[in-house]
Structure 1
């Protein structure tokens, strides 16, 4: 039956290979179950409910990929987009998380329409290649900065940002932290970065997840021997999982279907929506094409067969994820790990989806993982995203300068959308002023976006 459904022989694979590939994919992206609740809880969302929504969104999205495209790609709430959701839209711009979820929902609906009509591919092609790479690099820097902050390795100070010190931390936050609470977590985070980096260099399967778990385990040992002392007043809690309620699934009720449609007909909402739209657009198609090329799944023209089904699965997953209560669900680049193990069909995706479903019963473990253990994951994921800088043409300064503006704006202005908008404005204006706009055949979409973003700065 599996042969008939997934066409295993036609894709030169078998059940054992597909199942092992699915397990590998899950291992490499399961870290999202710990990281996503940590990030979205900063926006005021219930971390237990976010855990459930994350697992369900990954389960639904990955199954949709298997059904609609028969591809070995897995989906889950995406890194970068969750940071934009929490730190830019909610914390930075002051909107409620319900409002942000509505933007994600609207993005999903638009993506469904674009995927069905093939417009999504056309939009992707309209954005300059170098600028696409710059967006990824900027998000990588932004995520790394968030990781450093979550671990308290860097904090506010006289120079705006400075290295952690106990005295500086206490002065900044008005608390009485010591080396036995906040201080030791900073050291553990640094150790975690080194451990995760070593695992990545050694190409250990599930390296990011293992990095999180090992760092957490070292923290637990420190708690047992008294080096780490929980102190709720400074946000340092016990590192031990709470199994008092058994292996029950946290209720999704606090965030389920909490969409807020009031105030969506504003320029601000359009800007937020566009940021979600384009970051997800670049991320998804880039991931699909990149992973597929490594697996030799592209056709003679370099196109991905059944890409419409894959894009539709991604769009439906985003919409479902917003209703469930999580940020944009997208295709994970970690799918490459399963593909490298021989995964070629939807059976790999089904295996990964089932494991995300089973993970729902392990919430006490994932929710007990502290921010100092997940911070190294953010920093390493930032590294992966920054590798796209090699795809930017720095020989052409009319390309390099807008990309540079886009990249530095994200961490310095603490906003992914500011980076995108400033990058697009700079690209259009610079090429117009230098007379290169016709030569580069700037799309109408680029002009429209540039005008919209200029209006945003003029009137907001």
Structure 2
């Protein structure tokens, strides 16, 4: 499907020629095309606030995911990550509003953060990992500018795109279960229920209560269900800690308590901590696969989200074309680089933008409002100390369940589709490796199509991709054979 960049109809105010606009239109209306899209300033403000309320949970979840030690056993300061997350979301969402002029908000992508945690920092330092975010952002921007994004989108089968979304969803859900202590390493197997084969302790209880509450609110179509669930879970946790005398040991780290003032200056300690190079120990092929994985994690999901939200806002035509598409994709790519420089991981478009659209948002003004709210959050970092990791982890499981909805688009009766999809979805969480899932799916799709005598349907790009993944899976024996290691 061809996506083109469409601008609103040329007007006298916008281009100096054409039909004169009604008198009395403000510069705000003219710049964001508010009247042209059948909206009002009030609707845009309401939509921007709604989108912020629906996605501000990222300020809690991103520091949780990025809490993993890197290859040198260094961890990121929680306050710094919260500031970086709010800063990245504010800057990228404001850019989307002013440049893309569409109702889309950006923040640290959970899929990108998950990929960093599982596949990058075990081999690199955090500054090097953020450097990888900058690289993947530059790659996406180049793909948009050169038009290669269309070729890539058309080359990868739609079923595998859905499989990547579902697999990352399963991976994110597993992260949540592990962070909550609901799942742990088993003595007789790879995983087990809880750290000791059973559930125990208040934190797991509050995780379960929060999870069930969010699901109940979603079933009732309550706006901001995730945020409401986290707030309720946090209040219950604070009450239990205060009245029940729970300690840091009971919470497995830090108890939900506010230390000092709720308002403080932002901590920009992570800003600019980006390194390029120093990858000799892991090899060029591994570095290339990491960048490719991050591109997969951010690019395809963003494309689907932008088109989906644009269609919901009635901005896209019957061919999927919408105003500001190319600019929106470029800003999304820039989000990878901006997030890396900020220290928050790659920024990407959030599906929660649809909640603002549901409130009437149709233009970039709503994104400006959302971005300003994220900017205000820079000064309320201490409030995140109140939210236990176990409570925030419940949202990861919820997000994972939402990403699994892509299963409805898969033809499970077609073996050439269902087998690659199954391998992609299953191997991401089972191997704790997103690249392994994508690689297995690509190789399986190519092999099965060849077995069916349909090797021409695979396409040149998929054949190249399959060969790259074969090298990736065979990297260790190849290095031994060549005497590299």
Determine if the TM-score, normalized by the shorter chain, exceeds 0.5.
yes
Deviations, residues 76-105 of structure 1 (Å, cap 9, x unaligned):
0111211111123224xx322222212111
- SS in structure 2 at match of 1:24: helix
Larger Rg: 2
Deviations, residues 29-84 of structure 1 (Å, cap 9, x unaligned):
00000100111122422211111111111111111111222100000011121111
> Structure 1 residues 195, 361: closer, same or farther in 2, change over 3 A?
same
- SS in structure 1 at match of 2:458: coil
Choose from 464, 467, 474 the match for 1:448: 464
Q: State the shift of 1:122 in Å.
A: 2.2
Instruction: Tell me what 1:49 maps to.
Output: 80
Q: For the residues of structure 2 that align with 1:45 and 1:13, how far apart are their CA atoms?
A: 42
**Are 2:230 and 2:391, in contact at CA under 8 Å, matched by a contact in 1?**
yes
Q: State the shift of 1:168 in Å.
A: 5.0
**Are 1:431 and 1:437, in contact at CA under 8 Å, matched by a contact in 2?**
yes
Choose from 146, 156, 170 the match for 1:127: 156
2:45 equivalent to 1:27: no
Q: For the residues of structure 2 that align with 1:305 and 1:2, how far apart are their CA atoms?
A: 17
Choose from 143, 147, 156 the match for 1:114: 143
Instruction: Tell me what 2:104 maps to.
Output: 73
Q: Please show how residues 265-280 of structure 1 align to structure 2 within 5 Å.
A: 266-280=284-298
Choose from 88, 96, 113 the match for 1:82: 113
Instruction: Tell me what 1:189 maps to.
Output: 207
Q: Please show how residues 280-295 of structure 1 align to structure 2 within 5 Å.
A: 280-295=298-313
Q: For the residues of structure 1 that align with 2:150 and 2:344, how far apart are their CA atoms?
A: 25
Q: For the residues of structure 2 that align with 1:348 and 1:196, how far apart are their CA atoms?
A: 26
Q: State the shift of 1:304 in Å.
A: 2.4
Instruction: Tell me what 1:163 maps to.
Output: 193
Deviations, residues 333-388 of structure 1 (Å, cap 9, x unaligned):
00000011110000000000000000111100124321111111000000110010
2:220 equivalent to 1:220: no
Aligned residues: 442
Deviations, residues 228-247 of structure 1 (Å, cap 9, x unaligned):
33328x73322112225x52
Q: For the residues of structure 2 that align with 1:72 and 1:305, how far apart are their CA atoms?
A: 11
Q: State the shift of 1:418 in Å.
A: 1.1
Q: For the residues of structure 2 that align with 1:31 and 1:256, how far apart are their CA atoms?
A: 24
**Are 1:36 and 1:54, in contact at CA under 8 Å, matched by a contact in 2?**
yes
CA RMSD of aligned residues (A): 1.8
Choose from 417, 426, 432 the match for 2:435: 417
Deviations, residues 99-138 of structure 1 (Å, cap 9, x unaligned):
2212111111111111112211321121100000011111
Q: State the shift of 1:249 in Å.
A: 3.0
- SS in structure 2 at match of 1:80: helix
**Are 2:237 and 2:388, in contact at CA under 8 Å, matched by a contact in 1?**
no
> Structure 1 residues 39, 255: closer, same or farther in 2, change over 3 A?
farther
Q: For the residues of structure 2 that align with 1:291 and 1:4, how far apart are their CA atoms?
A: 22
Q: State the shift of 1:255 in Å.
A: 5.1
Q: State the shift of 1:437 in Å.
A: 2.2
> Structure 1 residues 420, 116: closer, same or farther in 2, change over 3 A?
same
Instruction: Tell me what 1:249 maps to.
Output: 265
Instruction: Tell me what 1:402 maps to.
Output: 420
**Are 1:299 and 1:305, in contact at CA under 8 Å, matched by a contact in 2?**
no
Indicate the larger mover: 449-458 or 251-260. Answer: 251-260
Q: For the residues of structure 1 that align with 2:220 and 2:287, how far apart are their CA atoms?
A: 44
Choose from 157, 164, 167 the match for 1:138: 167
Deviations, residues 238-282 of structure 1 (Å, cap 9, x unaligned):
2112225x5223422245332232227700011000011122111
Q: For the residues of structure 2 that align with 1:85 and 1:312, how far apart are their CA atoms?
A: 22
- Please list every run of 5 or more consecutive structure 2 residues that lacks an aligned counterpart in the other structure: 1-26, 70-74, 477-485
More helix by share: 1
Instruction: Tell me what 1:435 maps to.
Output: 453
Q: For the residues of structure 1 that align with 2:269 and 2:248, how far apart are their CA atoms?
A: 30
**Are 2:293 and 2:435, in contact at CA under 8 Å, matched by a contact in 1?**
yes
The TM-score with structure 2 as length reference comes to 0.88
Q: For the residues of structure 1 that align with 2:177 and 2:354, how far apart are their CA atoms?
A: 27
Q: Please show how residues 295-444 of structure 1 align to structure 2 within 5 Å.
A: 295-438=313-456, 441-444=457-460
